[in-house]
Homo-oligomer: A and B are copies of this chain.
Amino acid sequence: MIKIGLDMMGGDFAPVEAVKGVAAFFAEHNKDIQLVLIGDEEKIKEQLTLHQLPAQGYTIVHASQVIEMHEHPTKALKEKQQSSIAIGFKLLASGETDAFISAGNTGAMMVGALFSIGAIEGILRPTIGAYMPRENGTIGLLLDVGLNADCKPENLNQFAILGSLYATHILKIDNPRVGLVNLGEEEGKGNLLAQATYPVLKENNLIQFVGNIEGRDILMDKADIMVCDGFTGNVVLKLAESIFDITQRRNIKDEHFDRFNFEAQGGVPVLGVAKPVIIGHGISHATAFKNMIVIASRMIEADLISKIRESFAVQD
């Protein structure tokens, strides 16, 4: 049976929204999945009484500590061994769970993923992405958005492969197109990194490279996977998030801009680590938790990790 670890203490509305998300998941999905709810047992149980959950669908693992949103990731993980994030990674590393999800301290999640689980062999730097909404209702995946501030061409090339595998097997996009975020369309444009990355992507037959994409294309349907260094990607993501905030403040009701609500999309996987790890937005509500559980279950069912292993083994 698939076992998915879920940090019940992560996010601004813990554990209330996490429990609601778990309830919503069971209401909609009849999968043979056991959720391992990690956090303050008393608080979780108190919330569970408000919902009807299948008794065999979950277990609770008590965690007496919480890593707060603004704690230093490495320090907090080391000092708070009884935190829900630290325990979540222990369960994942030992094989007691098959995936781990948290909307808690993003830095601690990344550090945990990198150091408790580690990268798949052949992967230089795991990556984290963000979904970019397009007007036609689809999404694109921008990689990297902050895990790797400085990148080399080979890092971007690996992000392109990882993103393509995720898009193919989890997002169910056939032959996902890979675009290189750049300041111009023509080959030869760009900073040193983009100029050096273009030929590497062009020669990579594991991906479908469609060339450079500019800032104006990021929210358009030009490429399904958009690769850039984590500095640029982070600035783009936070700018896009601020657009949603502006539309909310200005009371603009629009179906498309509503999709800029990044927390509603659920979380994003840390791609390239040896087990499925999904990080949610701090302001995640029930729907986001439900969606993260769905994505985690798809990653396990599709055995994405093995597919990534195979791709990188072939590549060497």
A46 within 8 A of B: no
Q: Are B245 and A256 in contact (CB under 8 A)?
A: no
A190-B149, A191-B150, A242-B220 known; A235 vs B214 contact (CB < 8 Å) = yes
Stretch at the interface among A6-14, A89-97, A165-173, A246-254: A246-254
Q: Are A235 and B215 in contact (CB under 8 A)?
A: yes
Q: Are B215 and A183 in contact (CB under 8 A)?
A: no
A192 within 8 A of B: yes
Q: Are B231 and A219 in contact (CB under 8 A)?
A: no
Q: Are B216 and A242 in contact (CB under 8 A)?
A: yes
Q: Are A215 and B238 in contact (CB under 8 A)?
A: yes
- Closest chain B CB from A155 CB (angstroms): 13
A150 vs B192: C-alpha distance when bound (angstroms): 7
Say which residue of B229, B239, B250 sits within 8 Å of A218 (CB atoms).
B239
A240 within 8 A of B: yes
Copies of this chain in its oligomeric complex: 2
Of all chain B residues, which has the CB nearest A190?
B149
- Kindly supply a per-residue 1/0 record for chain A positions 207-222, scoring 1 wherever the CB is within 8 Å of any chain B CB and 0 otherwise: 0000000111111100
Q: Please list the residues of chain A having a beta carbon within 8 angstroms of any beta carbon in chain B.
A: 135, 146, 149-150, 181, 183, 190-192, 194, 214-220, 228-232, 234-243, 245-246, 249-250, 252, 254, 256-257
Q: Taking chain A's interface residues, is the majority helix, strand, or loop, or is none over half, making it mixed?
A: helix
Q: Are A239 and B242 in contact (CB under 8 A)?
A: no
Q: Are A231 and B190 in contact (CB under 8 A)?
A: yes
A150 vs B194: C-alpha distance when bound (angstroms): 10
- Closest chain B CB from A29 CB (angstroms): 33
Q: Are A149 and B242 in contact (CB under 8 A)?
A: no
A297 vs B116: C-alpha distance when bound (angstroms): 62
A149-B190, A183-B231, A231-B232 known; A239 vs B215 contact (CB < 8 Å) = yes
**Cross-chain pairs A/B with CB under 8 angstroms, 10 sampled:** A149-B190, A149-B194, A215-B234, A215-B237, A215-B240, A216-B245, A218-B239, A218-B242, A228-B235, A236-B239
A250: chain B residues at CB < 8 Å are: 135, 254, 256-257
A228: chain B residues at CB < 8 Å are: 235
A254: chain B residues at CB < 8 Å are: 250, 252
Of all chain B residues, which has the CB nearest A214?
B238
Q: Are A246 and B135 in contact (CB under 8 A)?
A: yes
A191-B150, A215-B242, A216-B245 known; A183 vs B252 contact (CB < 8 Å) = no
Q: Are A239 and B219 in contact (CB under 8 A)?
A: yes
